[in-house]
Amino acid sequence: MVKAIQIGLLGFGTVGTGVVRIIQGHQDHLHRQSGSSIAIKSILVKNLEKSRAVDVGNAQLTLDPWSIINDPEINVIVEVTGGVNPTKEWILAAIKNGKHVVTANKDLMAMHGNELLAEAARNKCDIYYEASVGGGIPIIRALMDSFTSDKITKIMGIVNGTTNYMLTKMAQEGASYKDVLAEAQALGYAESDPTADVDGLDAARKMTILARLGFLTDVALEDVRSKGIRDVTQEEMKYASKLGYTIKLVGIAERQGDKINVSVQPTMMKNSHPLSSVNGVFNAVYVYGEAVGETMFYGPGAGELPTATSVVSDLVQVVKNLKLGVNGLTSDSHYKEKKVLSEAEQFSKTFIVLRVHDRAGVLAQITNLLAGHEVSLESIIQSPLQGEQGSELCMITHRSSKASLDGVLSKLNEMEVVRSIDSVYRVEG
């Protein structure tokens, strides 16, 4: 009888539990897909006393990661503990021991993915990480394999479910940022320290991974400029809606000439763009290829079973590679030289809201200023301020460089007729 492929599972929390459920529940199907049966030999946990939601059969629970990493019978390590330390050390050691790795860990892959992939290639080992971006959405393998004949020019992602849930509630129910954050925490979407989600760090990590794959370039987390959603107000939501836009936290990776630009920021998405209707905790990744045009991958960005399906699909790929003897050959190590666009060189449309004095010539002064910086207006709405003297000016520019826009904003700040600059958002769609 052919021996089962032996798995060492690091972590038995939300995702680990899903992995056990799927491996147990889909055993016949997985055997047909991969040509082998898959058995979990050992599971690393932090607390042996904790009650577990699923029966582990013959698998051994252990507190000792090295008993798994150094076990010669284990072929594949599935890492779903999370965090960078000591996980990186465990994975490097496992690779040096010739073990293949499947991980859901976006922090680790964003910060140390290049090093881990290179080490895996040197040791003829696989590393797969489909669940690290978009949970259950099959986007990593799509970028690695399905787009290989095309040249991707833009990737836009709603890749953080917590913030998308919060922004959806703010837009649809008129709730305040503070209230929706408390609700997201009560529902377990946002952690008690919500920094990684609301400040855009989680999305930046995911965009690092997507940009690397999409542009075959050695993008580092430090190359991603990110801004979160803390300052998004109800007034801005209403403005967006009035103009036919929705505010979303969007990660954008794009080519401009031979350079790339990766950023995360609250963005005004035109309502006709498919990303604008991605609501609640759902995620979506929009990929534009020169030949294929627009594509979008949509689904659950987190959760036990959605995330575990990605992990176990990676596992099946490792087992298929084992059968074919091609492990370690698919690592994406053939990177091109990285050329990152400076912030000043970036081009985009921008939404600006100003409070201005309401008297003759104000609009003329402002439009002259824009013209002097070669910033062209796509639309402008002037409305009287409620309960106070003056007007609100809401403008959307055509695509202009960040350098030109910054020039405009600094001069607007100095103009006597401008009382305040209330909002500045990137516009897409």
Q: Which stretch binds ligand NDP (CB under 6 A): 98-106, 278-286, 322-330, 407-415?
A: 98-106
Q: Which is nearer to ligand NDP, 188 or 325 (CB)?
A: 188
Q: Looking only at Cα atoms, what is the longest distance across the chain?
A: 89
- In the window 266-325, what residues touch ligand NDP (CB under 6 A)? 302-303, 307
- Phi/psi of residue 292, each to 5°? -80, -25
Report if residue 331 touches ligand NDP, rule: CB under 6 A. Answer: no
Query: How many residues make contact with ligand NDP (CB under 6 A)?
Result: 22
Report if residue 13 touches ligand NDP, rule: CB under 6 A. Answer: yes
Q: Which stretch binds ligand HSE (CB under 6 A): 47-55, 155-163, 288-296, 319-327?
A: 155-163
Q: Which stretch binds ligand NDP (CB under 6 A): 46-54, 69-77, 164-172, 387-395?
A: 46-54
Residue with tokens 């929009």: 286
Give yes or no for a contact between 270 and 126, defined as CB atoms under 8 angstroms apart.
no
C-alpha span between 389 and 252 (Å, rounded): 39
Q: Which is nearer to ligand NDP, 46 or 323 (CB)?
A: 46
16 binds, among ligand HSE, ligand NDP, none (CB under 5 to 8 A by kind): ligand NDP
Give yes or no for a contact between 78 and 99, defined as CB atoms under 8 angstroms apart.
no
Q: Which is nearer to ligand HSE, 20 or 184 (CB)?
A: 184
Query: How many residues make contact with ligand HSE (CB under 6 A)?
Result: 9
Tokens of 385: 């301020």
Q: Which is nearer to ligand HSE, 197 or 236 (CB)?
A: 197
Report if residue 107 touches ligand HSE, rule: CB under 6 A. Answer: no
State the distance between the two ends of the chain, measured CA to CA, in whole angstroms.
57
Q: Which stretch binds ligand HSE (CB under 6 A): 157-165, 167-175, 216-224, 354-362?
A: 157-165
From candidates 5, 59, 80, 155, binder to ligand NDP by CB under 6 A: 80
C-alpha span between 402 and 400 (Å, rounded): 7
Report if residue 354 touches ligand NDP, rule: CB under 6 A. Answer: no
399 binds, among ligand NDP, ligand HSE, none (CB under 5 to 8 A by kind): none
CB of 135 to ligand HSE, least distance (A): 6
- The residues annotated as belonging to the active site are 206
Residue with tokens 């960005």: 301
From candidates 14, 36, 75, 160, binder to ligand HSE by CB under 6 A: 160
CA distances from 396 to 46, 240, 377, 402, 407 (A): 52, 11, 6, 14, 16
Q: Which is nearer to ligand NDP, 107 or 428 (CB)?
A: 107
197 binds, among ligand NDP, ligand HSE, none (CB under 5 to 8 A by kind): ligand HSE
Q: Which is nearer to ligand HSE, 48 or 186 (CB)?
A: 186
CB of 156 to ligand NDP, least distance (A): 19
CB of 195 to ligand HSE, least distance (A): 11
45 binds, among ligand HSE, ligand NDP, none (CB under 5 to 8 A by kind): ligand NDP
Q: Which is nearer to ligand NDP, 310 or 391 (CB)?
A: 310
From candidates 229, 302, 408, 418, binder to ligand HSE by CB under 6 A: 302
CB of 256 to ligand NDP, least distance (A): 30
Residue with tokens 């539990």: 17
Report if residue 251 touches ligand NDP, rule: CB under 6 A. Answer: no
Tokens of 323: 């059968």
Give yes or no for a contact between 312 and 26, defined as CB atoms under 8 angstroms apart.
yes
Give yes or no for a contact between 68 and 8, defined as CB atoms under 8 angstroms apart.
yes
- What is the binding site for ligand HSE (CB under 6 A)? 135, 160-162, 189, 197, 202, 301-302
- What is the binding site for ligand NDP (CB under 6 A)? 11-16, 44-47, 50, 80-82, 104-106, 131, 135, 302-303, 307
